Amino acid sequence: MSAPANAFEAPPKVELTKDQARGTSSVPLIRASRVRSSPRRRPRASVKLAFDVLRSASIARSVLTFPTPSPDALNKTNELLKLPENVQKMDMAKAQMAAQPDNIMMLMMLVLPVATQALLPILAEFGFPQDQGGLMMFMSAVGKHKDDAEISALGKQMRATFVPENLEPVVTAMLSGGGAM
């Protein structure tokens, strides 16, 4: 029996005669015919899951290799967040969030996308993914340097721009794996 041409192709179908099935025949056992499968068959869910896990692992590994956020990077970040058009967008998002001020999901759905959009140039410049996850990674990288007073102060100033005071402990716990920054 030959192996399938690729992992998604069905193996050859084996047909046995009655004698072969009983084990009383001296005729060779295999008379194979190919079972055709659709060439556009989707990968199995387990294959997709494996790719997602590998992608997540590579993202997690890349977090560890990001450079230490410099005061210069944080100053650029804070300058971008203070631009009038970004302040206006941020104020609008915060106003929408005011209906449920203690809801972290409202922060994630309304405010963080606006902050991410404003900080795309910084994320790209320093090698972070240019999406909301990249912003969270950037904030986490800043939080890992809480012992450096200057970086810590600039990071708190950055977060204060888009994270409400009442949600600061929740965001801090999320970014630091449960501990305080």
CA distances to 57, 59, 66, 131 from 54, rounded to whole Å, are 5, 9, 19, 19
Query: Does residue 77 lie in a domain region?
Result: yes
From the list 80, 113, 91, the residue with the least C-alpha distance to 164 is 91
Same domain, 72 and 143: yes
Same domain, 105 and 157: yes
Query: Does residue 180 lie in a domain region?
Result: no
Query: Does residue 154 lie in a domain region?
Result: yes
Same domain, 24 and 112: no
Cα separation, 130 vs 141, in Å, equals: 15
From the list 142, 154, 83, 150, the residue with the least C-alpha distance to 117 is 83
Same domain, 3 and 92: no
Query: Does residue 114 lie in a domain region?
Result: yes
How far is residue 61 CA from its own chain's centroid?
Answer: 12
Cα separation, 111 vs 95, in Å, equals: 10
Cα separation, 27 vs 119, in Å, equals: 74
pLDDT band at residue 170 using 50, 70 and 90 as cut-offs: confident
Query: Does residue 46 lie in a domain region?
Result: no
pLDDT of residue 86: 92
Contact, 120 vs 104, CB < 8 A?
no
Domain count, the chain: 2
Q: What is the domain range of residue 20?
A: 1-41
Q: Which amino acid, 105?
A: M
Instruction: Determine the average pLDDT of the residues in 95-123.
Output: 88
% of residues, the chain, pLDDT over 90: 17
Query: Does residue 23 lie in a domain region?
Result: yes
pLDDT tens figures, 10-57 = 556 666 666 666 665 555 544 444 545 555 555 555 555 555 555 554
Using the predicted structure, report yes or no on whether residue 126 has a pLDDT greater than 60.
yes
Query: Does residue 152 lie in a domain region?
Result: yes
Same domain, 76 and 37: no
Q: Where is 33: in which H helix or E strand?
A: strand 32-33
Same domain, 157 and 72: yes
Same domain, 37 and 85: no
Query: Does residue 57 lie in a domain region?
Result: no
Q: Say which residue, 2 or 176, is predicted with more confidence.
A: 176
Same domain, 75 and 155: yes
Whether this model's pTM surpasses 0.75: no
